[in-house]
Chain A
Amino acid sequence: MLDPTPNGQPSGESPLLRTIGLTKRYGDFLANDSIDIDIWPKEIHALLGENGAGKSTLVKAIYGLIQPSAGEIRWQGQPIALSGPSQARGRGIGMVFQHFSLFDNLTVAENVALGLDGRESFKDMSARLEQVSKTYGLPLDPRREVWQLSVGERQRIEIVRALMQDPKFLILDEPTAVLTPQEADQLFIVLERLKAEGRAILYISHKLDEVKRLCDTATILRGGKKIQTCNPRLETAASLARMMVGSEIKEVKAAAGRRATVPRLVVNDLSLAPAEAHGVRLEHISFELKGGEILGIAGVAGNGQDELFAALSGERLSNDPGTVVIEGIAAGHLSITQRRKLGAAFVPEERLGHGTAPRMKLSENALLTGHAASGMVHHGFIDTAATLKTVDRATETFDVRKAKRDPEAASLSGGNLQKFIVGREILRNPAVLVVSQPTWGVDAGAAAVIRQALLDLATAGAAVLVTSQDLDELAEIADRIAVMFHGRLSAPLATGEATREKLGLLMGGSSLETKEAAHAVGA
C-alpha cells in the first residue's frame, strides 16, 4: 500500500509531530489530560470525541495558541515550545479554525495578507493566492469583500491562507460542519491531494462516515483523556461512537400520534429587499406551518436563509404586517421581543456574537432571550435566581459540559454552547420554534438529543421550522422539506418523496416540473 499507517512506518523513523503527556488545565478543570498523539507524514489523522472532549484545546496547544500546563510537543523529533501561532506557522504547521477569524469588511486578499507572516508585496501575494486557489481547485476572487461570501467560500479563504504557507502539517477543526455535501466532497479531494503531496493532516469532525471514508488513523478523546488510536476503516460508525461516548447512542424516535393541528406560523408572499448591498432579496415566500409539524428548509448557504431568519425573527421588519403571521396574529411589523411574547423562539446559526454575547455569563445569555416572556424580570428588575435556574435546567436536560456553573459563553466548547442555546429556547416551551443549523458542530450523541427535543416539541404541539444543510438531519426529523434558492422557496415536498436527487435539483435552481418535462421530451 502507498498508504502508510503508523504501523506501516519504518521503525526508527520519528513521527512528524508527537505530543507526550500534553495537559491543559483551566482552574481545577482538565481540558486535556496527559495526551499522547503521533502524527505521521502522508497521513490523514482524525481526532474524534464528544463536545467538550478537548479536541479544540489540543490542537490550539499544538498550534501555539494556548500554552500547555504540562507535557511536551515534539516536531520532527525535537522538543519545541511555541509562544504563538506565528512560530507554529514558521515551522510548517497550519490551521483552519472551528470559528472563522475573518474581517467582514476587508477583501479576500486583504484577509489573507493579514494572516500571513511573510514580507512579500501585496501584489505578489495576490498573484500567489490566485495561483494556489487554482492549483487546488478552491476558486476564490481575491477582490471580493468577505461579507459577500457564503460560509463555504469563507472557509476556502482560511484553507487557502493555510496552504499558502506550504505547511507540512495542516490542522482542520470541524471543517465540514458548515459545508454542503457537495462542498465537503470538494474539500475531500483537496485533502487527498495534500496527503499525496506528503503532508500530514489532523482532521476534527463529528461526521463519522466522513472519517471512515477519508482518514487513515483516528484518535479518540473522552473527557480530556485519550481513549484509543485506531484505524477507522476497520471500525463501524457505531463502534467509533461507542468509544467516544462510552455507551450506545440512542436512536431518534418520533413519538406515535404526532398530528398537524392549526397553523401557527404562516408566511404570506413575503418579499424583502436585502438590508446590505449584496444580500439576497427574498421573493414571494409563502408557507404554512401547523402545530405538531416540522418543516425543513434545505439549500446551499447564502441563498437567503439568513435573510429569511431575520424576517421571521423580527430582526428585520416588514412594512406589511400580514406577511408573517404568528399564532394567528399579523406580526410582520412586530419586534423580536413582541414575537417572543406571542410564543415564538429563535435559534440563529451563529452561536458566538449572535445567539450569545461571548463575554457574558450563561445566566446573562439566558436573560438575553428570556427577558421578554420567561418570568426573569419583575418590574424591570432581574431575577438572578430565575436566570441561573434556566442555565441549570438547560445544563441538565441537554448535558451541557462546562468547567463551572455559570461560565462565560465563549469558554464553552462549540457543541456545548450550541446545546445551551437550543436548550434555552426549547425550555421556554415555544409555540413556534425557528431554528437554523440546530446541530452544527454538535457530536452524534448530543445531535440525537437535540433532534429528539425538536421532535418532542412538535409532538407537544409546537410548529418547528428547521433550516439545515444536513439533508440526513432533515430526512430524520422533518415532515416536509422545502428548498431555498436565490431568495425563493420551493413548494414543500413530503419527506418521503424528497429524494436526494429531487432536493439536489431544487438546490441547484432547476424546478422539478421543467426537469421532468425535459425528461419526457428526451424519452
Chain B
Amino acid sequence: MQLVLEKRAERSNTIAMVSPLIAIGLTIVTMVILFAILGKNPLLALHAYFIAPLTDGYSLQEIAVKATPLVMIAIGLSLCYLANAWNIGAEGQFLVGAVAGSWIAVKTQGTDAGAWVLPAMFVLAAAGGALYALIPAICKVKFGASEILTSLMLVYVADLFLDYLVRGPWRDPHGFNFPTTAEFDPVATVPLLIEGGRLHLGSIIALVVVAAAAILLGRTIKGFEIRVVGAAPRAARFGGFNADQLIILTFAVSGALAGLAGIIEVAGPVGHLQPGISPGYGFTAIIVAFLGRLNPLGILIAGLFLALTFIGGEQAQIAMKIPLDVTKVFQGILLFYVLACDSLILYRFKLVFPNRQVARGTA
C-alpha cells in the first residue's frame, strides 16, 4: 500500500470549500497537543478560546471590532494576491494610514472644527496608505525589486516613524510624558453603533468593502482582469491586460484599505495615536485572506474567526494563564495548514494497492 499525490484533471470545488475547515481541524488537533504539553487542560483551553467569547454580548461586540480591520485589510490583500502581486506590508500601510488621518485630528484639536473632520481623516488615511503601498509597487514595476521584501521592510519604517511622532512633535503635552497624542475630539472619533457599547461605524464600512469586492471580482471586467493576470499571465497579455498597471492598482487599493482600517482603529476603539495600535493586524490579515480562499465572503468569515482567536487568547490568558503569544502560534500553524490543504484542490491523495483486483469489463 502506498500513498501518492495525484494531480486532479479539474480543480475540485468541493475541496476548495472545505479545505479551510480541514485546516482549522488540523490546527485544533495540534493545539490540543500543544496545550497538553504546556500542562493545561486542552478541553478547558479550547473552551476559553472558542466558546467562552461567544457567550457574552461584550465579547461578541469585541470580536466584530477586531474583525473590522482584519477584514478590510484582507480584502485589499486578496486583490493583490489574486493578481500575483505579493503585498506583505499591509501592517505598514495600516500605520501610515493611521498617522496620515491622525494628522487632521491632531491639527484640529480643540478648534471646534465641523463634521468634515472625520471624513477628511478617512480620505487622508486612505491616500496615505495607498501612496505608501505604491513605493514597493513602483519599485517592482520600474526596477524589478521584489515587492515581498520592499513592502515588508517598509513596515518597520512606518512603525518607527509613528513612534517618532508620538514621542516628539505630536506628544500630548498633558500626557505625563507617555508616548501618545491627546484623546481625539468627538468630531474626530468614529461614532458608536450602540450607545455605551463597542461596536462602531467601521464594522459597517467593512461590510460595504466586502460587498464591493464581491461585486468587483464576480461581476466586473476589472475583477476578471485581476483573476486572469494572476492565473495565466501570458493569456492575460493576449487578452489585452497589463500586469504592471494591475500591480500598481491592486497595491494602491490594498494600501488604501489598510490605511482606512488604520484610521478607523485609531479614531475608533483606541481614541488616540500611540505605538502598538495594532496587534499585527496587517500580518494576521494575510492569514485571513488565505483562510478565506481569497474570496470576499470567505474573508468575512475568516476575519471573524481570527478575531475570535484574539479575544479567546486574551480570555485564556486571564482564566488559565496561557501566554498571549500562543495566539500567534495558533495563527501561524493555521496559515501553515491552510496552504498545505490548498494543494488538495489541485491534487488528491490516493491509496494504491499493488496488484489490486480491478473491476473487469467485458473482454
**Chain A interface (Cβ < 8 Å from any Cβ of B):** 20-23, 26, 34, 36, 66-68, 70-72, 79-81, 83-84, 313-315, 335-337, 340, 346, 348, 353-360, 364-365, 367-369, 371-372, 377, 380-382, 407-408, 410-411
Contact = CB atoms under 8 A, between A and B. Distances in A.
A80 B355 CA distance: 6
B221 A381 contact: yes
A367 B223 CA distance: 12
A79 B224 contact: no
Contacts, number: 116
Interface string B340-359: 00000000001011111011
B350 A21 contact: no
Contact of B235 (A21, A23, A68, A354): A354
23 contacts: A22-B361, A23-B361, A26-B9, A34-B361, A67-B6, A71-B358, A71-B360, A72-B361, A80-B355, A83-B6, A83-B350, A83-B352, A84-B4, A335-B240, A353-B235, A357-B232, A357-B235, A360-B227, A360-B231, A369-B238, A371-B224, A382-B221, A407-B10
Interface string B229-252: 001101111111000000000000
B8 to A, nearest CB: 10
A364 B361 contact: no
B11 interface: yes
Contacts of A360: 227-228, 231-232
Nearest to B225: A371
Interface size class on chain B is 20 to 34
A348 B360 CA distance: 43
Contact of B9 (A66, A68, A365, A381): A66
Could you tell me the dominant secondary structure of chain A's interface residues?
A: mixed
B194 interface: no
A233 B234 CA distance: 43
A380 B215 CA distance: 11
A367 B239 CA distance: 9
A18 to B, nearest CB: 9
A358 B235 CA distance: 9
B168 to A, nearest CB: 46
B238 A313 contact: yes
B14 interface: no
B220 interface: yes
B111 interface: no
A84 B6 contact: yes
Contact of A382 (B220, B234, B362): B220
B231 A356 contact: no
A81 B220 contact: no
B142 interface: no
A224 B23 CA distance: 39
B47 interface: no
B107 interface: no
Interface string B189-213: 0000000000000000000000000
Contacts of A36: 361, 363
Given A71-B358, A71-B359, A368 B235 contact: yes
B321 interface: no
Given A72-B360, A357-B232, A411 B220 contact: no
B358 A357 contact: no
Contacts of B231: 357, 359-360
Given A72-B361, A336-B240, A81 B235 contact: no
A502 to B, nearest CB: 34
Contacts of B227: 360
A340 B359 contact: no
Given A81-B355, A83-B352, A377-B221, A70 B228 contact: no
Nearest to A369: B239
A411 B232 CA distance: 16
A20 B224 contact: no
A428 B45 CA distance: 63
A368 B361 contact: no
Given A81-B352, A81-B358, A381-B220, A356 B363 contact: no
A353 B219 contact: no
Contact of B358 (A70, A336, A368): A70
A340 B236 contact: no
Given A79-B358, A313-B238, A21 B363 contact: yes
Contacts of A377: 221
Contacts of B363: 20-21, 36
A354 B353 contact: no
Nearest to A370: B239
Interface string B316-353: 00000000000000000000000000000000001011
Contacts of B10: 407-408, 410-411
Nearest to A57: B9
A80 B357 CA distance: 9
A408 B11 contact: yes
The 4 A-B pairs at the shortest CB distance, nearest first, are namely A21-B361, A337-B240, A357-B232, A83-B352
B9 A411 contact: yes
B235 A20 contact: no
A353 B233 CA distance: 8
